[in-house]
Homo-oligomer: A and B are copies of this chain.
Amino acid sequence: MSFPRVGVIGAGQLARMMAVPANDLGIHFSVFAAIPHDSAAQTSPYVLGDYTNVSEVLAFAANCDVITFEHELVPQSIIKELEKSGKKVYPRAESFIYSQDKLVMREKMAELNLPNPAWQRYDGGASKIAFPLVAKVPSGGYDGRGVYVIDSQSELDELHRTINRTLLLEAKLNFDYEISVMVARSPHEQAATWPATLTVQADGICTQTITPIPEISEELAISVQSAALKIAQAINLVGVMAVEIFIVGDNFVINELALRPHNSGHWTIEGSRTSQFEQHLRAILDLPLGSTEMVAPIAVMGNVLGGEKADMYRPYLHLMARTPALKFHQYGKEVKPGRKIGHVTMTGEDLLELRTEVSHAVDYMSGVIDE
C-alpha cells in the first residue's frame, strides 16, 4: 500500500480544483485532457487524448489505480471497457447513467418514490403533460442546453421534428426556488451530505449559491438531505453527487443528478472542513470520509461569467482592497461572454454583506459595473 494514482477523464476547472486536495493528501494525480491549455492541464500532469476513443482512454488508465470523471459526456461504452479491464472506475457505469440520461433518472426516482414532476417519455404524438411544459433531450445537455420551454402541441411537434430523438417531457413547475444537496458515498458505503445550498439562477445558469438555505424549514432541510442519501445508496454511488431540487412551498421535487463535483458545491472549499473535491477523492479511494461540518455560519459563492473585460487580473487591485476576505478562484480560461471563467467565495455571519460583496465582485469582474 502506498500513495495511489488517480486519473481524471476531463481537464476542466473541476479537475483543476480536485488537484489541490490530491496534492495535499500526497495522491498522484493526472488528467486526461483534450488540449494542453485545458484548465486542469495548466496545473497538473496530463495526457492528451479523446475521451470517446477507447484505446486512448485505456492507455491513460494503464498508469492509474483509480479513474474518475469530471463531466457527463464520457460514453457508457468507454466506462464499461475500463471496468472490464479490471480498473477501479468511480462512479461506476451503472451509477453514472443517472447523470447521463434524464429518462433513466426519472424512472429511478419514480421507483424510489421520490417526488418527480409529472413526466413522460415522448416519441411523438399528443403530449400527456399540460402546456407550458419543459422538453429535455435526455442526454448530452447541461447549463440549460438541451432544455426547452414549450407552449403548445405545435411547438412540441416542431421541436421533435428538429431534434429527431426521444424526449423527456416534464411539467413546468411554478417553483419557489432551486436548491442543491451535495452527497458523497464510498465503496464501504459510508455516506455524508453537506447542508443544502440555495442556487440562485439567471437564464438557466447558477449565478450565486447561499449555504445554508435562508429560511428553509428544518424539516424540509432534513428531507432533502435524506433524499440525497437515499438516491446515493439506491444508485450505488461512489464519489460525490449533486442532487438538484426544486422547492415548491413545503415540498420538493427532484430536478437532476450530477455524479461529480458540482458548481453548487464550490462553497465547500472555504465553507466546510472537507471540500467536495477532497471528499470525492476520499470516496473513490475508499478512505474514510471527511467532516462535512461548516466552518462559518454562512458561505456565499458567486460565478464569474465572462463579459466585456478580457483581463481578470487588474480587477484584483480594486476588489482585494475593497473586500480583504474575498477568495478568488480562476479557472485559467479565456474570457468569452457568458462563460464560467472563475468563482469567488466569502464566508461569514452577515448574509446581506456576503451577498453584496460577492455580487459586487462578479459584476465588477464581468464589467457590469465599473466601481
Give the interface of A toward B (CB within 8 A).
1-4, 16, 19-20, 23-26, 42-44, 273-274, 282, 287-291, 293, 295-296, 311-314, 316-317, 320-321, 324-325, 327-330, 332, 342, 347
In the complex, what distance in Å separates the CA atom of A347 from the CA atom of B274?
A: 12
Chain B residues near A330: list those with CB within 8 A. Answer: 3, 23-26
Do B26 and A313 touch across chains, with their CB atoms under 8 A apart?
Answer: yes
Which residue of B3, B282, B311 is within 8 Å of A2 (Cβ)? B311
Using A290-B325, A328-B25 as known contacts, say yes or no to A312 and B3 having CB atoms under 8 A apart: yes
The secondary-structure label for the interface of chain A is loop
- Chain B hits for A324, CB < 8 A: 273-274, 288-291
Task: Please state if B2 and A288 are interface contacts (CB–CB under 8 Å).
Answer: no
Question: Could you list 16 further interchain pairs (A-B, Cβ under 8 angstroms) beyond the known A24-B330, A291-B325?
Answer: A1-B313, A4-B313, A19-B43, A20-B23, A26-B312, A26-B328, A273-B327, A282-B320, A287-B316, A287-B317, A288-B316, A288-B320, A288-B324, A289-B320, A291-B324, A295-B347
Q: How far is the CA of A174 from the CA of B325 in the complex (A)?
A: 40
How many angstroms from the CA of A2 to the CA of B335 in the assembled complex? 12
Determine how close the nearest CB of chain B comes to the CB of A298; give it in whole angstroms: 13
Chain B residues whose CB sits within 8 angstroms of the CB of A24 once the complex forms: 327-330
Q: List 8 A-B contacts (CB under 8 A).
A: A23-B43, A24-B327, A25-B328, A273-B324, A287-B317, A288-B321, A290-B324, A290-B325
How far in angstroms is the closest Cβ of chain B from A19? Answer: 8
Copies of this chain, whole number? 2
Instruction: Establish whether residues A16 and B26, one from each chain, have CB atoms under 8 Å apart when the complex forms.
Output: no
A2 to chain B, nearest CB (A): 5
Query: A228: shortest Cβ distance to chain B, in Å?
Result: 19
Inter-chain contact B287/A320, CB cutoff 8 Å:
yes
Most buried by B among A19, A26, A287, A332: A26
5 nearest CB pairs, A to B? A26-B330, A288-B320, A288-B321, A291-B324, A291-B325
- How many whole Å from A111's CB to the nearest CB in chain B? 32
A44 vs B312: C-alpha distance when bound (angstroms): 22
| Pair A273/B26 contact, Cβ less than 8 Å | no
Q: State the Cβ distance, A138 to closest chain B Cβ, in Å.
A: 36
Q: For A273, what are the chain B residues with a Cβ–Cβ distance below 8 Å?
A: 324-325, 327
Of B289, B293, B342, which one neighbours A26 at CB under 8 angstroms? B342
